[in-house]
Amino acid sequence: MAAAASAARVYTRLRELDCPPLRGVYLSDSDDLLRLLCAPSAHRLDILEWICTCVYPPFREQFSSLKDSQSDVKIKEIAQLGSDILLCQADDLDLVKVTSCPTFSPPHLLVVGTRVGL
C-alpha cells in the first residue's frame, strides 16, 4: 500500500512538472503506476533521463546524441549522476535497470527527482 501511495505521489508530481515522457499517459490504477515507475521499460528509462537532464542540463545534449539501442550507456550515466549526488553507487546499474530494488519504493531517482522540484 505504501509503495502504491508513493508511486501515485511521484506520478502526480511528474505530471505537474509536465514530464515529456508522460504526455498522453493517463493512469489511475495503482498497479499500473507501480509498473510504469518501478518496472524495467524504455518508458521508465525516458522518465529517468528527463529527471537527469533537469538535474544536470548538460546531459540533454549527451543523451540526445545516443541511439535508442545505447540504453546501457544511458543507464551508466544515470547511475553516475546518482552517485555524484549521493543517491547510489556508480556501479548500481541494477538499481537503475530495476533488476534489484532498494528497501523502499519507488526507486531513489524518481523520488528524489520529484522532491527537488524539477
Query: pLDDT (tens digit, 9 = 90+) per residue, 28-82?
Result: 888 888 888 888 888 888 898 898 888 888 888 887 887 766 778 888 888 888 8
pLDDT of residue 17: 93
Give percent above pLDDT 90 in the chain: 12
DSSP 32-83: HHHHHHHS--HHHHHHHHHHHHHHSTHHHHHHHTS-GGGHHHHHHHHHHHHH
pTM: 0.74
Nearest CA among 92, 13, 19, 89 for reference residue 49: 19
Per-residue model confidence as pLDDT tens digits over 76-99: 888 888 888 777 788 877 777 765
